[in-house]
Amino acid sequence: MRTGIATVCLSGTLEEKLRAAAKAGFGGVEIFETDLVTSPLSPEDVRRLADDLGLGLDLYQPFRDFDSVPDELYRANLRRAEAKFKLMGRLGIDTILVCSNVATASIDDDALRSAQLHGLAELAADHGVKVAYEALAWGTYVNDFEHAWRIVDDANHPNLGTCLDTFHILSRGWDTAPIEGIPGEKIFFVQVADAPKLSLDVLSWSRHYRVFPGEGQFDLPKFLGHVARTGYSGPVSLEVFNDTFRQSDVERTAVDAMRSLIWLEERTAQHLAASAAEAAGGAPSPAQLAQASRAYAMPLTTLPQVAPPSGLNFAEIKAADGGAATAELERLLGQLGFEPRGEHRTKPVSLWTLGDARIVLNRQQARGVEPGISALGFDVENSVAAVARAVQLKAVPVARTSQANEEVLQAVQAPDGTEVFLCQDALWVEEFGSVAPGGSPLGGAPESAEVARIDHINLAQPWQHYDEAVLFYSSVLALSPQPSQDVSSPAGLVRSQVMQTEDRSVRLALNLAPWVQADSVRGTVRDTFQEHIAIIVPDLVATAKACRARELPFLAIPENYYEDLDARYGLDPEFLATLRELDLLYDRDADGEFLHFYTATVGSVFFEVVQRIGGYDGFGAPNAPIRHAVQHAHRR
């Protein structure tokens, strides 16, 4: 599939955009007019630069407000178009996007529109240009792709075709099946964008909230499946207007964009294979998938297939060697019931375990930098395939030095810098020495060691990489995004996005924390970067009691919380007294109950211990404001 991206998706100057698109591996770009007009580069310079970068210039856009106008304006529009056709000649671009008239349309007459577009196509032919006519979702008279196609079909000119844009089609809820009625060679261009489902007016929605494929809620594989079946073989190009992407680093955004198209190719091939298999009455085989990826004029690249991870192999916290915060962290782990399993053979790294929960304390960080979650290990079936897939999805591999005889662990970087290890086993544990003679200095084996494990990890995400993170974890690790939720905190709303496997063996919560300016709320910026590791145990009350006996610093829960809990649930007084005494939190849903507690924070890391009773499937979200408020007060 030929991949493309409109320059308007990216921040920076035209030159920066072209360089970033080429670096990310795009086949071509759409030149958005404003980017050219504001550039000091001449059209010839742009053409030369694109050539040097191996980047196709696939589309010039947009040409607005052409059709459905009185004759005088039509002539003026032709003159305006001719100037652009000449410009395209200098750029070496052969296709222009003409979108349905929004501003000056005054005559609602399809025959007139066909005639005017035919006239435009005639003029375009003189300049070797092809015109791709597109229905904007908010076009005055033409806002439906089928309508645009009928007009193009009636005009019947070899230099006139249609452009399909997923946003304009899916935002209006149009049925996409009729796409297959359009001959592939009359589709001159295909633009794709995803979007969250909003009830906003379609123009504002389009201008500010589009995202890259896989970051929203549109069914793009189904759309692109229809397009593939028409025999279309041209570019599939991103046109995403997004306030955040326009502000973010151009090279990162280009990589995120490229990843989204690779994801879309794979999903489209899967969709096509599944349709074929369904017609034959079964699930698609790998051979059918490979077949689907090659069956169309638009070949679809597929990636090594991987199953979702089956568990969290470990979590790593980076801390400075010998620092006070590090000592505090070690004490905290001991108080939680973790046992030190010894030092790594060659590195300043120690392993701590509680049942199946493994935490690696990496003391290679510089002094003065606070401890933070630095790496996560995921259990995968085949780590080589998993890393190969990740790298094909533009993830950056992590280079770690290993000595001979050490396990070579495969890792890639997540958008926020967290290192994601793809682990086939836990043999690396053997590189850690056994506990020093005399056993754990911090207490015996915990009560619940045999079944404790990591329940979930909560990572704080910088606002400008949030959508990118969702796509990263869903494409690279096959985690499924759940509906996001807003939680109140003293420093602002925190948007929480859970990514998990269907069987819940891996749960990851991404928190988009509010950004606090220096002169702003006294909670300071540090508020926003707290992250945590949650351990699940079979008997939370017993664990809490043992932790209290080991003098674990619990996050202190306000008395008002227990009164409100009682008002809401009318809990058994003895149970309520236990919750209160142990600083435990409680939640309930239709399927079960949830008990949990939090520890104090060290650096930017704290811990949570949870128990799930019955089929409870959440994370205690109603209690999150309590935690934020208490942590905020501690930060002061």
Is position 80 an interface residue for its own copies (rule: CB under 8 A)? yes
Is position 556 an interface residue for its own copies (rule: CB under 8 A)? yes
The encoded tokens of residue 387 equal 């890393």
Q: Are 624 and 487 in contact (CB under 8 A)?
A: yes
Q: Are 95 and 188 in contact (CB under 8 A)?
A: yes
Span of 119-127, 181-189, 242-250, 362-370 interacting with its own copies by CB under 8 A: 242-250
Is position 337 an interface residue for its own copies (rule: CB under 8 A)? no
For its own copies, which residue of 301, 346, 364, 488 counts as binding (CB under 8 A)?
Answer: 488
For its own copies, which residue of 156, 247, 301, 364 counts as binding (CB under 8 A)?
Answer: 247
> Which 453-482 positions form the footprint of its own copies (CB under 8 A)?
462, 464
198 exposed, middle or buried (CB, 10 Å; 0-12, 13-18, 19+)? middle
For its own copies, which residue of 296, 352, 561, 598 counts as binding (CB under 8 A)?
Answer: 561
Q: Are 536 and 338 in contact (CB under 8 A)?
A: no
Please report, for residues 253, 259, 264, 463, 496, the alpha-carbon distance to residue 467 in angstroms, rounded to integers and kept in the order given: 10, 12, 15, 9, 12
Binding footprint of its own copies, residue count (CB under 8 A)? 69
The closest alpha carbon to 479, from 384, 380, 609, belongs to 380
The encoded tokens of residue 564 equal 């409100």
In the bound complex, what is the minimum distance in angstroms from residue 468's beta carbon to its own copies? 13
Is position 199 an interface residue for its own copies (rule: CB under 8 A)? yes
- CB-based contacts of 446, cutoff 8 Å, min separation 6: 337, 338, 339, 354, 355, 452, 543, 546
Span of 246-254, 388-396, 579-587, 599-607 interacting with its own copies by CB under 8 A: 246-254
Q: Are 201 and 164 in contact (CB under 8 A)?
A: no
Residue 511, Ramachandran bin (φ over 0: left; ψ between -120 and 50: alpha; else beta): beta
Please, which residue, 13 or 578, has the CB nearer to its own copies? 13
Question: What is the distance between the alpha carbons of residues 530 and 315, in angstroms, rounded to a whole number?
Answer: 15
Is position 631 an interface residue for its own copies (rule: CB under 8 A)? no
Is position 577 an interface residue for its own copies (rule: CB under 8 A)? no
For its own copies, which residue of 306, 361, 536, 630 counts as binding (CB under 8 A)?
Answer: 630
- CB-based contacts of 228, cutoff 8 Å, min separation 6: 268, 272, 295, 296, 297, 298, 300
For its own copies, which residue of 243, 381, 502, 591 counts as binding (CB under 8 A)?
Answer: 243
Tell me the one-letter amino acid at 551: E
For its own copies, which residue of 3, 11, 114, 448 counts as binding (CB under 8 A)?
Answer: 11
Please, which residue, 369 or 429, has the CB nearer to its own copies? 369
Span of 347-355, 473-481, 600-608, 628-636 interacting with its own copies by CB under 8 A: 628-636
For its own copies, which residue of 221, 355, 481, 492 counts as binding (CB under 8 A)?
Answer: 492
Please, which residue, 79 or 345, has the CB nearer to its own copies? 79
Please, which residue, 72 or 519, has the CB nearer to its own copies? 519
Is position 204 an interface residue for its own copies (rule: CB under 8 A)? yes
Is position 343 an interface residue for its own copies (rule: CB under 8 A)? no
For its own copies, which residue of 52, 278, 486, 502 counts as binding (CB under 8 A)?
Answer: 486
Q: Are 19 and 11 in contact (CB under 8 A)?
A: no
Please, which residue, 131 or 537, has the CB nearer to its own copies? 131
Span of 270-278, 316-324, 497-505, 555-563 interacting with its own copies by CB under 8 A: 555-563
Is position 87 an interface residue for its own copies (rule: CB under 8 A)? yes
Angle separating helix axes 573-582 and 559-569, nearest 10 degrees: 150
> Which 369-428 positions form the footprint of its own copies (CB under 8 A)?
none
For its own copies, which residue of 75, 207, 294, 345 counts as binding (CB under 8 A)?
Answer: 207
Is position 38 an interface residue for its own copies (rule: CB under 8 A)? yes
Span of 74-82, 180-188, 326-334, 468-476 interacting with its own copies by CB under 8 A: 74-82
Is position 564 an interface residue for its own copies (rule: CB under 8 A)? yes
In the bound complex, what is the minimum distance in angstroms from residue 595's beta carbon to its own copies? 18
Span of 31-39, 118-126, 160-168, 187-195 interacting with its own copies by CB under 8 A: 31-39
User: Max Cα separation, the chain?
Assistant: 95
Tell me the one-letter amino acid at 154: D
Is position 629 an interface residue for its own copies (rule: CB under 8 A)? yes
Is position 76 an interface residue for its own copies (rule: CB under 8 A)? yes
Please, which residue, 219 or 249, has the CB nearer to its own copies? 249
Is position 250 an interface residue for its own copies (rule: CB under 8 A)? yes
| CA atoms in the 13 A half-sphere facing the CB of 543 | 28
Is position 127 an interface residue for its own copies (rule: CB under 8 A)? no
For its own copies, which residue of 401, 403, 405, 560 counts as binding (CB under 8 A)?
Answer: 560
- CB-based contacts of 56, cutoff 8 Å, min separation 6: 2, 4, 27, 28, 29, 50, 235
Question: What is the distance between the alpha carbons of residues 205 and 592, in angstroms, rounded to a whole number?
Answer: 38
- CB-based contacts of 435, cutoff 8 Å, min separation 6: 339, 340, 341, 342
> Which 522-551 positions form the footprint of its own copies (CB under 8 A)?
522-523
The closest alpha carbon to 376, from 202, 274, 498, 507, belongs to 507
Please, which residue, 193 or 354, has the CB nearer to its own copies? 193
Question: What is the distance between the alpha carbons of residues 573 and 581, in angstroms, rounded to a whole number?
Answer: 12
Q: Are 453 and 537 in contact (CB under 8 A)?
A: no
Quick note: the x/- pattern for its own copies over 497-526, rule CB under 8 A, is -----------------xxxx-xxxxx---
Question: What is the distance between the alpha carbons of residues 424 and 410, in angstroms, rounded to a whole number?
Answer: 9
Name the CA dihedral angle for 32, 35, 40, 41, rounded to a multiple of 10 degrees. Answer: -30
Q: How many CB atoms lie within 10 A of CB 354?
A: 23
Q: How many CB atoms lie within 10 A of CB 149?
A: 22
Is position 75 an interface residue for its own copies (rule: CB under 8 A)? no
Please, which residue, 71 or 486, has the CB nearer to its own copies? 486
Please, which residue, 8 or 152, has the CB nearer to its own copies? 8
Please, which residue, 8 or 227, has the CB nearer to its own copies? 8
For its own copies, which residue of 224, 387, 411, 491 counts as binding (CB under 8 A)?
Answer: 491
For its own copies, which residue of 559, 573, 574, 590 counts as binding (CB under 8 A)?
Answer: 559
Tokens 């704290």 found at: 606
> Parallel, antiparallel, or unpaired for β 372-379 and 311-320?
antiparallel
Q: List phi, psi (to 5°) of 592.
A: 170, -165
Question: Which residues bind to its own copies, rule: CB under 8 A?
Answer: 8, 11-13, 16, 33-34, 36-43, 76, 79-80, 83-84, 87, 198-201, 204, 207-208, 243, 246-250, 462, 464, 486, 488, 490-493, 514-517, 519-523, 556, 558-561, 563-564, 566-568, 570, 625-626, 628-630, 632-633
